[in-house]
């Protein structure tokens, strides 16, 4: 049985094959069953699992877009298509729109539809402040990165164009970025070191602008109010919505979305597997017209959600910290990694912009649990190496913040942290207070049950990318 159909000369081949280990385990079970069932039922089932994993990011992006754009006017976290929503302050523990959101930058995001024409993205002079705008295609790949690291801090105009656009850059526009899909997530973050930075950052973010190419150079403003699509679920988290889907809904949505967000040439073997299951990408999908074996295969394939969750936790770890893959944000045919990252943190950008060490376990491989008290110790000058800054956040199993008495959800380099006499530093990760003398470095955890940690390293230094520096393990407090 093939793995993810990576060509032998693909540098992601080894990594991709490892990501498929849970799927291949299912293949082994199928093979043990033997007989004609393997060909009639087992192989379609395995292809169905691969199809589920392949389409997962596409559906996550679509559900997130629907919820974020089902409003008549821009708001704090939502805005109509082709308009920016601007986060004016850090979200609180009630925020559920995106899992594992951070509290180091303020976001300005837009969901762009390039069906009719390209749009000009304008950014202001950012006064040396760190910012990054990642342009995601609808498969959750980053196809362009704008910001201090790549394009500088000057006021600039960029053209964002769809896959079929043919034309030339208009005057005053520096560069074109071509999306391989109709829909694009413009995901901008700007450094904000606490509430004292809000006013300056908000003023800069509100200068972000999207202008249809046909209106470029003319007086143009978005409509005062946009119609809202009916029947959009804006309350249920996207992961819960996917878990509730049956096979007809899930695969039907995937087939429909692939009309405007097509597979890449490298995806051709996967497209053939979809067709063998009765799915014709880009065309209507009628589950009731499938052959009985195909229908059963797709129903069974819905169990792949559990494989994804387990696969994420089995990514490479060092000292209990998941080492995010180097191909994050640009996955190629590594569909398992792409889906896994979409599950735990949709919108995770390339490691060169932000690195995200993540821990579900302590340094000895035991699951993090709120019934225990933990310490994270950094030796002198061994805190995360960053060109901008770093932070540490705690989340519940679903990737959300949990209310606590301090209303504190992260610790960051810019905060007045307390260092030890030898220059080292300890962080106290626990439910209850570690004592008045240690509360400065206290990161509260949920009242009970499991939790997980995410470190964000903004514009990481090379030592954080090449493995020279590693996160120390979280240990149980003495």
Q: Give the CA distances from residue 29 to residues 18, 227, 296, 428, in Å, rounded to whole numbers and listed in that order.
A: 18, 50, 17, 44
End-to-end alpha carbon distance in the chain: 50
Each residue of 106-115: pLDDT tens digit?
Answer: 999 999 999 9
What pLDDT does residue 348 have? 86
Q: 171-184 burial string, b = 16+ CB within 10 Å, else e?
A: eebeebbbbbbbbb
pLDDT (tens digit, 0 to 9) for every residue of the chain, 478 residues total? 222 222 223 344 344 445 555 555 554 444 444 444 444 567 888 999 999 999 999 999 999 999 999 999 999 889 999 999 999 999 889 887 777 888 999 999 999 999 999 999 999 999 889 999 999 999 999 999 999 999 999 999 999 999 989 999 999 999 999 999 999 999 999 999 999 999 999 999 999 999 999 999 988 888 878 889 888 999 998 999 999 999 999 999 999 999 999 999 999 999 999 999 999 998 899 999 999 989 999 999 999 998 887 667 667 789 999 887 889 999 999 999 899 989 988 888 999 999 999 999 999 999 999 999 999 999 999 999 999 999 999 999 988 999 998 999 999 999 999 999 999 999 999 999 999 999 999 999 999 999 999 999 999 999 999 989 999 999 999 9
Would you call 218 exposed, middle or buried from its count of C-beta atoms within 10 A (0-12, 13-18, 19+)? exposed
List, by residue range, all CATH 2.60.120.600 domains of the chain: 357-476
Buried residues in 370-401 as b, exposed as e (16+ CB within 10 A): bebebbbebeeeebbbbebbbbbbbbbeebbb
Beta bridge partners of 450: 369
CATH class in words for 71-215: mainly beta
Q: Is 146 exposed, middle or buried (0-12, 13-18, 19+ CB in 10 A)?
A: buried
Tens-place pLDDT, residues 43-69: 888 999 999 999 999 999 999 999 999
Cβ atoms of residues 330 and 350 within 8 Å = yes
Rounded Cα distance, 343 and 337, in Å: 10
Cα atoms in the 13 Å half-sphere on the side-chain side of 281 = 20
pLDDT tens for each residue of 347-375: 889 999 999 999 999 999 999 999 999 99
Select from 19, 17, 14, 16 the least CA-distant residue to 313.
19
**Closest Cα partner for 123 from 110, 113, 114?**
110
Closest CA to 368 of 415, 325, 317, 411: 317
Give burial (CB, 10 Å; 0-12/13-18/19+) of 66. Answer: middle
pTM for the model stands at: 0.85
Q: Indicate the SS3 state at residue 108.
A: strand
Q: What angle do CA 107, 112, 115 make, to 5 degrees?
A: 175
User: Edge-to-edge strand order for the sheet containing 175-178?
Assistant: 175-178, 156-161, 119-123, 209-212
Gap between the Cα atoms of 458 and 475, Å rounded = 25
Closest CA to 159 of 141, 140, 172, 147: 172
Domain with CATH 2.60.40.1610 in the chain: 71-215
- Domain 13-61+236-311 - what CATH class? mainly alpha
Assign domain 357-476 to its CATH superfamily: Domain of unknown function DUF1214, C-terminal domain (2.60.120.600)
Q: In this structure, what token pair is assigned to residue 94? A: 């009630």
Helix (H) or strand (E) holding 332: none
Q: Are 242 and 305 in contact (CB under 8 A)?
A: yes
Q: What is the DSSP letter of 475?
A: E
Grouping H, G, I as helix, E, B as strand and the rest as coil, residue 308 is helix
Sequence ranges of the chain with CATH classification 1.10.3360: 13-61+236-311
pLDDT tens digits, 200-246: 999 999 999 999 999 999 888 888 788 898 889 999 989 999 999 99
Whether 135 and 160 have beta carbons less than 8 Å apart is answered as yes
* Distance, CA of 177 to CA of 299 (rounded, Å): 39
């Amino acid at each position: 049985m093939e793995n993810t159909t990576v060509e032998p000369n693909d540098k992601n081949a080894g990594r991709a094959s490892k990501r498929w280990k849970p799927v291949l385990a299912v293949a082994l079970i199928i093979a043990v069953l033997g007989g004609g069932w393997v060909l009639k039922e087992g192989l379609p089932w395995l292809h169905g699992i691969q199809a589920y994993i392949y389409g997962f990011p596409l559906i996550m992006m679509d559900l997130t877009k629907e919820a974020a754009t089902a409003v008549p006017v821009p708001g704090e976290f939502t805005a109509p298509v082709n308009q920016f929503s601007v986060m004016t302050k850090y979200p609180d523990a009630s925020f559920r729109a995106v899992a594992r959101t951070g509290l180091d930058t303020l976001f300005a995001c837009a969901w762009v539809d390039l069906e009719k024409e390209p749009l000009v993205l304008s950014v202001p002079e950012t006064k040396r402040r760190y910012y990054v705008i990642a342009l995601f295609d609808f498969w959750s790949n980053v196809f362009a990165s704008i910001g201090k690291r790549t394009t500088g801090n000057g006021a600039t105009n960029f053209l964002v164009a769809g896959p079929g656009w043919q034309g030339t850059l208009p005057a005053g526009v520096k560069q074109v970025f071509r999306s391989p899909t109709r829909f694009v997530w413009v995901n901008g973050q700007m450094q904000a070191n606490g509430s004292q930075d809000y006013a300056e950052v908000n003023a800069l973010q509100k200068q972000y602008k999207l202008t249809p190419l046909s209106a470029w150079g003319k007086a143009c403003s978005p409509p005062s109010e946009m119609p809202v699509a009916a029947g959009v679920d804006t309350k249920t988290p996207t992961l819960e919505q996917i878990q509730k889907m049956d096979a007809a809904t899930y695969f039907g949505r995937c087939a429909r979305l692939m009309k405007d967000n097509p597979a890449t040439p490298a995806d051709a073997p996967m497209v053939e597997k979809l067709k063998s299951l009765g799915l014709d990408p880009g065309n209507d999908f009628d589950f009731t017209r499938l052959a009985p074996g195909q229908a059963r295969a797709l129903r069974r394939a819905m169990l792949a959600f559990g494989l994804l969750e387990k696969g994420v936790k089995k990514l490479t770890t060092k000292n209990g910290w998941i080492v995010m893959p180097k191909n994050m944000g640009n996955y190629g045919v590594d569909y398992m990694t792409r889906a896994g990252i979409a599950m735990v943190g949709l919108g995770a950008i390339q490691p060169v912009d932000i690195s995200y060490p993540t821990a579900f376990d302590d340094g000895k491989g035991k699951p993090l649990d709120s019934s225990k008290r933990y310490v994270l110790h950094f030796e002198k000058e061994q805190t995360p190496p960053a060109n901008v800054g770093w932070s540490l956040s705690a989340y519940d199993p679903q990737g959300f913040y949990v209310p606590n008495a301090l209303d504190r959800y992260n610790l960051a380099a810019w905060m007045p942290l307390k260092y030890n006499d030898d220059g080292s530093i300890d962080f106290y990760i626990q439910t209850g207070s570690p004592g008045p003398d240690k509360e400065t470095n206290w990161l509260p955890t949920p009242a009970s049950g499991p939790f997980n940690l995410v470190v964000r390293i903004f514009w990481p230094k090379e030592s954080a990318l090449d493995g020279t520096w590693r996160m120390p393990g979280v240990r149980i407090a003495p």
